[in-house]
Structure 1
Amino acid sequence: MDFVSGLGGLLILALDIWAIVSVLQSGVPALNKVLWILLILVLPLIGFIIWLVAGPKGA
């Protein structure tokens, strides 16, 4: 059971890193980038899902 939850945590971490890199490469203003990154960091799963649906697209 611990292995599965650890694997899930690693998957969420990898997806969050991918989302943060995509936000940094997008063409949105710096304040918007900071807000998106804070959302992803504070709410890892929910923030990623919100970013996936409504976030800035890559360059």
Structure 2
Amino acid sequence: MEYGILGLIVLILNIYAIAKIFGSGASTGAKVLWIVLILVLPVVGFIIWLIAGPKGGAATV
């Protein structure tokens, strides 16, 4: 049961990170690389994103 809850928490955090990546001002290539990193390495990718991910507000179009 604990692993199911832990997995759900990881899933929610990854969805949050991906949503923040979409809304960032980073280039499209950088967004794709961050999303791929989070999808391939869910826990490690999220931690790396927290430390070094794209910062900033909404993208300007």
TM score, norm. by length of structure 2 = 0.91
For the aligned residues, what is the CA RMSD?
Answer: 0.7
SS of structure 2 residue aligned to 1:17:
helix
Structure 2 stretches of 5 or more lacking a match? none
Listed as ranges, the matches of 1:1-59 within 5 Å are 3-59=1-57
Q: CA deviation at 1:58?
A: 4.2
Work out the percentage of aligned pairs sharing the same amino acid. Answer: 56
Q: Which has the higher helix share?
A: 1
Structure 1 outlier segments of 4+, above 3 Å: none
Give ranges in structure 1 of 5+ residues lacking alignment.
none
Q: How many aligned residue pairs are there?
A: 57
State the TM-score, normalizing by the size of structure 1.
0.94
